[in-house]
Amino acid sequence: MLTEYLPIVAMAVLAVAFGVASLVVSRMFRPHRPNPVKLSPYECGNDPVRLPRGERFSVKFYVVAMLFIIFDIEIIFLFPWAVRFRQLGLFGLVEMAFFIGLVFVAYIYVWRAGGLDWATSVEAPADADLASDSSRDPMAAADEELAAAMHDAEVAGAR
């Protein structure tokens, strides 16, 4: 009776052995060149820094996450329809086309309302001298710092 389970046990042992072997081989042959940019923590578009008391994270991050979950769950409804597609016939096709149309309209509405934008657009200053000053635009300053850190890391790695 236990011999009936032997192929299942053998497959489980092979799966675990393959997973462990893949991890060991990739660790042995991977390139290991740490630099400040690679070692810096970064999560979901936000630097993981503790905010001063009273300052909060932007709600945009959570709105985008909730919208992803909502649209993801709506797409899951396609699987039962795909399984029973032939039995549902034309009625099922029309119903699913209507459902997909509603999901698409909701997506367009959210997109037009700006629900998928990570940051608001910043208008460029009219004065050319102000445009070159990155201290006024925190995103430009952060980009410059990141580029400098990457350049320093590349130079350090080339030595």
Query: What is the DSSP annotation of 11-68?
Result: HHHHHHHHHHHHHHHHHHHS-----HHHHS--BTTB---PPPTT----HHHHHHHHHH
Averaged pLDDT in 10-residue chunks for the chain of 159 residues: 88 97 94 80 64 68 80 84 88 90 87 73 46 54 68 53
DSSP class of 115: T
pTM of the entire predicted model: 0.40
Say what the pLDDT of residue 44 is: 62
What is the Cβ-side half-sphere exposure of residue 79, based on CA atoms within 13 angstroms? 5
Specify the pLDDT at position 125: 46
Determine the pLDDT at residue 46: 61
SS3 26: helix
Query: Could you tell me how far CA 28 lies from the centroid of its own chain?
Result: 28
pLDDT of residue 28: 93
The domain spans of the chain are 128-159
pLDDT at residue 128, rounded to an integer: 47
Tell me, what's the pLDDT at 122? 42
pLDDT score, position 83: 87
